[in-house]
Structure 1
Amino acid sequence: MKTSELLKEDYNPYYHTYIMALGEVNLKEELTEGLTRFEDFSTNIPEEKLNYAYAEGKWTLAEALVHIIDTERVFQYRALCFSRNDKASFPGFEQDDYILNANAGNRGKQSLLEEFRAVRMSSIALFNSFAEADLQKRGVASGSSMSVGAVGFILSGHLNHHKKIIEERYL
């Protein structure tokens, strides 16, 4: 599936910026290439920057990394459920509450990056298991209809969005 194959009704307009910023990409390739790009980028993150926040009330760099991991897990689960025709409506998740309970400040860079890699590899395996028809299946999350394919593109766009923020505001 390519980004141009998504329909407007495949996702909430909130996610449009993430998806459009990807350009024309193949979903399964982008999930893998995004992992490689983020791992290459992460080698330049100094350990001493992990507890740095660029402004009062903003997350530390470690918290931003945990947020990326948490979001990947939540959306991965949604994709699995939608692909299996689960009819439940999934709630949103309060990212700030998640971060308050994540103990990010007690984590080292290597631990965070290993966890991200494991979670993204799981996403790659999951999306590689989907047939093209599975990517068209839909479910409801945060009160909006969403396709399995859109979830994968949102994961990729979300990672790129936060990578850019890390580059511009933390490093």
Structure 2
Amino acid sequence: MELQNLRPDQIILSLQDTMTRLEKLLRQLPESAWQLSIAPGKWTVAEIVGHLYDTEEVWGGRIEKVCHEEKPDLPGYDPESYVRQRGYKQYNLSEMTELLQAYRQHREKTLALLQGDVWRRVGVHLEEGEMSVQVLTEILALHEQHHLQQIEQIWQTAQQQE
């Protein structure tokens, strides 16, 4: 994913906007749509939402670590195994609603950290090298936009097929 050199205010706005757009979109989806995917073998809407939760958990944790520690190590993680192990594909509407609430709480915690001079603080990602809070949050914001577009595309395709 190519960075766009977003300013901190643009990153915060994106992180807030994506969460709002996601919640609005998911309220419109019938429960049956949670099991749709863009193509065979690709993640379902439920798995994408689960992955977004995982990403907030992992990347939000990285951001928190960089904000509070001096040049911490930032280990990698395997998104595919998270989604598989947590079984998001089998989540029902009630479980997805709970997951979204937890996602929102993680997001609010992450946004609360993004104040003052934290943007230049760095951690060391084991695969990517030094990463600033600004880079970490921009990656998170762009990643979410990408997956939100996937969900929108899945839903549009499903509506056209009706």
Same fold per superposition (TM over 0.5):
yes
1:78 matched residue in structure 2 = 62
Number of positions where the alignment pairs a residue of Structure 1 with one of Structure 2: 155
Output aligned runs, 1:82-93, within 5 Å.
Answer: 82-93=66-77
**Residues 51, 142 of structure 1: alpha-carbon distance in 2 compared, 3 angstrom cutoff:** farther
Match of 2:83 among 95, 99, 114: 99
Higher helix share: 2
TM-score (norm: length of structure 2): 0.80
**Residues 22, 118 of structure 1: alpha-carbon distance in 2 compared, 3 angstrom cutoff:** farther
**Residues 150, 120 of structure 1: alpha-carbon distance in 2 compared, 3 angstrom cutoff:** farther
Deviations 1:10-47 (A, max 9, x none): xxxxx32xx53979953333322222121111122221
2:131 matched residue in structure 1 = 146
Percentage identity across paired residues of the two chains? 25
Mark the runs of 5 or more structure 1 residues left unpaired by the alignment: 1-14
Match of 1:52 among 13, 36, 39: 36
**Residues 21, 115 of structure 1: alpha-carbon distance in 2 compared, 3 angstrom cutoff:** farther
1:67 matched residue in structure 2 = 51
**Residues 129, 22 of structure 1: alpha-carbon distance in 2 compared, 3 angstrom cutoff:** closer
User: CA shift at 1:66, angstroms?
Assistant: 0.7
Q: Does residue 1:164 correspond to 2:146, yes or no?
A: no
